[in-house]
Amino acid sequence: MELARAKRAAALAAGLLLSASASAQSFDESWRQADALDAVLTTVGFSAALTISLGADTPRAFWNGEGPVDELMLHLGSEDATRRIRAGRTSDVLGLLTLVPSLLTDPILGYTSERTLGRELGIVSLRSYALTALIVATTKYGIRRHRPSCGANCSPGDHRSFISGHSAFVWTAASLTCVAHRHVDLFNSQAARIASCASVVGLATTTSVLRMVARRHYFTDVLVGALVGLLSGWVLPAVATYGFGG
């Protein structure tokens, strides 16, 4: 008897937790549902980015200069090599954390409410990341800008400063999360929706700043990377799925 009561209590608690974490949302009929074209474009985007990254090389830089804004912002970079390494590693960790909601949490919460919603949220994210990956690979290997930390003995990897891949991906992630919670009340709470968006924006901002502290990128690398993220994570979902209304 006690075991049966415990099971019922556990089931009730799980049900309450689920209802609190994901509202009864569904994929809006006015939104465009992904089709074979989305799958093809996403695959092509990732494949092209991977091909460029593996097949291209950057033995020398094409762009060695920095503008006045870059020079002004160079003071953010640390003079201490150990601090630069720590800043770079911290930006790696924070960057990965920024990706979690759009790639994992939001699709899972959507799936618990409706399978179609969870699937479409996942597709929207993958499609946006494919565009970001393609743009990042094209600019890094095509423009070949030297990094701020590049001295007299630069390696091929030091000629891939523009654009900042970290900045592009974290702002894609932040945009995707904020857009998703703008259209779907996954947490059944307005405060939670705002907090979710604010947290990823904070992570994206911190990650971008740390890339400059680590002297891995100039300010313009980070700025253009952020604009690419907004294009992929905000504009593309609006054009291809949600529309600009609502």
- pLDDT one digit per residue (tens) for the chain, 246 residues: 444 444 454 444 344 334 434 344 788 989 999 999 999 999 999 999 999 999 998 888 888 878 888 888 888 888 888 999 999 999 999 999 999 999 999 999 999 989 999 999 999 999 999 999 999 999 999 999 999 887 667 787 788 999 999 999 999 999 999 999 999 999 888 899 999 999 999 999 999 999 999 999 999 999 999 999 999 999 999 999 999 865
Query: Helix 219-230 to helix 190-213 angle, to the nearest 10 degrees?
Result: 150
Give the tokens for residue 176. 């995707």
d(CA 12, CA 53): 50
Q: Quick one: CA torsion of 150, 155, 160, 161, rounded to 10 degrees?
A: -10
d(CA 191, CA 174): 17
On whether the CB atoms of residues 199 and 179 are closer than 8 A, the answer is no
Instruction: Measure Cα distances from 65 to 89, 159, 209 in Å.
Output: 26, 12, 20
pTM score above 0.85: yes
In terms of Cα–Cα distance, which of 212, 223, 205 is closest to 76? 212
d(CA 204, CA 170): 5
On whether the CB atoms of residues 42 and 126 are closer than 8 A, the answer is yes
